[in-house]
Amino acid sequence: MVGTYLGMPAFPEAARDAVRDERLRSNLTHATHTIRDKRAKAVAELPDWGRLRAAGAAIKDRTLRHLDHYLERLEESVTAAGGQVHWAADAREANRIVTRLVRETGEEEVVKVKSMATQEIGLNAALTAAGIRANETDLAELIVQLGDDLPSHILVPAIHRNRGEIRDIFAERMADWGRPAPEGLTDSPRDLAEAARLHLRQKFLNAKVGVSGANFMVAETGTMVVVESEGNGRMCLTLPETLISVVGIEKVVPTWRDLEVFLQLLPRSSTAERMNPYTSMWTGTTEGDGPRTFHLVLLDNGRTDTLADTVGRQALRCIRCSACLNVCPVYERAGGHAYGSAYPGPIGAILTPQLRGVASELDASLPYASSLCGACYEVCPVAIDIPEALVHLRERVVEGGEVTVRGTRTTVRPARGHAAERAAMRASRWALDHPGVLRAGQRVAGRARRLAPRRLPGPGRAWTDTRDIPALPAESFRDWWRRTREKPTRESGNGTKGAGR
C-alpha cells in the first residue's frame, strides 16, 4: 500500500483482495465488533437518544439551509477574535493556501492534529512536495504515516494493523522521522505507547506551526472545537506559535448551545464514551496563551455542489463519528482501503461520489458497496438515511441526470459499463409488466427445470461459485392458483376468489 488513493481499482476488486487477507479480516472483525457492542451500551444509557438524534439532524439541516449566512457570521467572529479566514474552493486551493502560510513562517516542519479534511485534500503530500515535513501526532495516524500506509478508518486509522505489525513499524521507521524507538521494543500496548510518547514529545516541543481540522465551528462566537482522546491534539493546538485549521464548511453550527447536542452524540457514537477525554476549544488568539497567529481555511471541495442535491445533501450532516463503519458488514470484510478515499465505509460510499463525482470507475462503484441492510442508518447519530442516498446515487450512475458541478447545473451521462444491465432491467420490467409473458417464461423454465445446471456461466457464475441455485418448481404459484382456484368468470373487481384446494 502506498500513500495515495490515485489509480486504485473499483471497489469489488479491491474488496475481493481484502476478503482473502485473513489477518486483515480478523483484525477488522475483532475491532469493529468490540466497538460496536460498546457503542450500543453507551447509547442505551440515554433514554432520550432518539430525541437527541432528531435534534442533531435538525440543527445540521437548519444550518445547511442557511449555510452562506452562518459562514459569513463565522468569518466575522473569527476575524474579530484575531484570526484570519481564508476560503478554498477545492483541494488544490486549500493546499496552496496552507503551503504559503507555512512558508511565511519560515518553518520547514509542522505538527498535525488528526484531521479528516486534510486527509481528504492530500495536504501531507502537497506539503512534502513543497519541502515541508508534516508530522502526524495522533497515535494511529503516526502508525499509518510511519508505515507509508493509508488510513482505513475515520476514528481508528490503523484499525487494519495489529500489535505485532505496529511494533515492527515503530522499530523500523521511527528513526527516519525523529527519535528512534527504544531498543528491544516489545508489542505490549504499554511499550508501544511509551515509544510513541517519547517520539512525539520531541516533535511537540520543537513545533512552531500546528495544522489541524475541527469537529465544530461556532458561528456566533468564532470558536473552534476539536474532540480527541489522546491529548496529542491539545499539544499541537496550544504549543506552536502559528495554528492553521483546515475545516469543511459544513462543520459550522450556529450557536454555542448547539454544541450541547453534538458533544453528547459524538463521543457515545464514536468511542462509546459518555464524554470524550479532551475537548479543546479556542476562539481566535489570546494574548499570552496558545498560538499567536491563527488561520482558518474554509474548505468547499464539492460541498456546495452536494448541498444542491436534495437527497444527497444529508451526507453533509455527518459528524464523522464512524459508527456506520463499525456496524457495516461490508466494511468489516472489505476494509477501509477498498473505498479509495479518506472516507471509508457507508459514509464514504455516499460522500465520495458526491464530492468527487462518479466519473471514475472507482467512484461509480462506491454506491454499490452495500447490501442496503440499513445498519448504518440505524446507528447514525444525525439520522443520515444512507441506504436512501446510496440508491439515489446508483440512479445517477446508471441513468445520469442533473448534477451541480462547481456551482453550475449540468447533465451527466450514465456511467459506462452498465449497458447490459440496463437492457436486462428494461427487459425484466417489460416481462413483469406483462404477466402473460412472465407466465409463459415461468412455464418454459418449469418444463426445462431438469436441465438447469448447478453452475451458471457468465455473470451468473458470481452466484454459483459459492451458492447453489434453488430447484425450479414444476408449477408457478400463478398456475397453481389458476388450476385449483380460478373460476372461469371474474368475481367482483379484479380479484379472483378461490374455492377448495
Binding another protein (rule: CB under 8 A), the pick from 68, 371, 444, 487 is 371
Pairing status of strand 223-228 against strand 216-218? antiparallel
Q: Which is nearer to ligand SF4, 185 or 321 (CB)?
A: 321
Is there binding between residue 384 and ligand SF4 (CB under 6 A)?
A: yes
> Which residue in this structure is represented by grid cell 438515511?
385
Task: Indicate which of ligand SF4, another protein, none lies near residue 163 (CB less than 5 to 8 Å, by partner kind).
Answer: none
Is there binding between residue 422 and another protein (CB under 8 A)?
A: yes
Pairing status of strand 401-405 against strand 408-412? antiparallel
Length of the chain measured in residues: 501
Piece of 9-17, 100-108, 226-234, 252-260 that binds another protein (CB under 8 A) = 9-17
Q: How far is the CB of 444 from ligand SF4 (least distance, A)?
A: 46
Q: How far is the CB of 424 from another protein (least distance, A)?
A: 10
Would the CA dihedral through 92, 94, 99, 101 be positive or negative? Answer: positive
Task: Indicate which of another protein, ligand SF4, none lies near residue 292 (CB less than 5 to 8 Å, by partner kind).
Answer: none
Piece of 1-9, 43-51, 115-123, 379-387 that binds ligand SF4 (CB under 6 A) = 379-387
Would the CA dihedral through 325, 331, 337, 341 be positive or negative? Answer: negative
Residues between 250 and 289 with contacts to ligand SF4, criterion CB under 6 A? 269
Is there binding between residue 15 and ligand SF4 (CB under 6 A)?
A: no
Task: Indicate which of another protein, ligand SF4, none lies near residue 226 (CB less than 5 to 8 Å, by partner kind).
Answer: none
Q: Which is nearer to ligand SF4, 230 or 250 (CB)?
A: 250
In contact, 237 and 282? CB cutoff 8 Å: yes
Is there binding between residue 410 and another protein (CB under 8 A)?
A: no
Q: How far is the CB of 57 from another protein (least distance, A)?
A: 17
Q: Which is nearer to another protein, 106 or 470 (CB)?
A: 470
Q: How far is the CB of 257 from ligand SF4 (least distance, A)?
A: 20
Distance, first Cα to last Cα, the chain? 64
Distance CA 97, CA 88 (A): 8
Distance CA 263, CA 274 (A): 9
Q: Which is nearer to ligand SF4, 95 or 352 (CB)?
A: 352
**Residue 293 cell numbers, joined:** 497567529
Which helix or strand (DSSP H or E) is residue 404 part of? strand 401-405
Q: What would the DSSP string read from start to end of 132-190?
A: -EEEE-SHHHHHHHHTT----SSS-TTTT--HHHHHHHHHHHHHHHSSPPPTT--S-HH
In contact, 390 and 367? CB cutoff 8 Å: yes
- Paired strand residues for 258: none
Binding ligand SF4 (rule: CB under 6 A), the pick from 347, 366, 369, 415 is 347
Is there binding between residue 472 and another protein (CB under 8 A)?
A: yes
Task: Indicate which of another protein, ligand SF4, none lies near residue 322 (CB less than 5 to 8 Å, by partner kind).
Answer: ligand SF4
Helix/strand/coil (H/E/C) assignment for every residue in 274-329: CCCCEEEEEECCECCECCCEEEEEEECCCHHHHHCCCCHHHHHHCCCCCHHHHHCH
State the DSSP code for 213. -
Piece of 41-49, 100-108, 172-180, 435-443 that binds another protein (CB under 8 A) = 435-443
Please enumerate in sequence order all residues whose Cβ is within 8 A of that of 189, keeping only pairs 6 or more positions apart, or say none: 163
Is there binding between residue 321 and ligand SF4 (CB under 6 A)?
A: yes
In contact, 350 and 312? CB cutoff 8 Å: yes
Binding ligand SF4 (rule: CB under 6 A), the pick from 151, 353, 381, 387 is 381
Q: Look at residue 481 and give its three-state secondary structure.
A: helix
Task: Indicate which of ligand SF4, another protein, none lies near residue 321 (CB less than 5 to 8 Å, by partner kind).
Answer: ligand SF4
Q: Which is nearer to ligand SF4, 203 or 394 (CB)?
A: 394
Is there binding between residue 501 and another protein (CB under 8 A)?
A: yes
Site string for another protein, 266-305 (x = CB under 8 A): ----------------------------------------
Name the amino acid, one letter, at 280.
S
Q: Look at residue 41 and give its three-state secondary structure.
A: helix
Binding another protein (rule: CB under 8 A), the pick from 253, 377, 386, 403 is 377
Residues between 20 and 59 with contacts to another protein, criterion CB under 8 A? 20, 25
Is there binding between residue 380 and ligand SF4 (CB under 6 A)?
A: yes
Which residues in this chain contact ligand SF4 in the complex, by CB under 6 A?
269, 318-324, 347, 379-382, 384
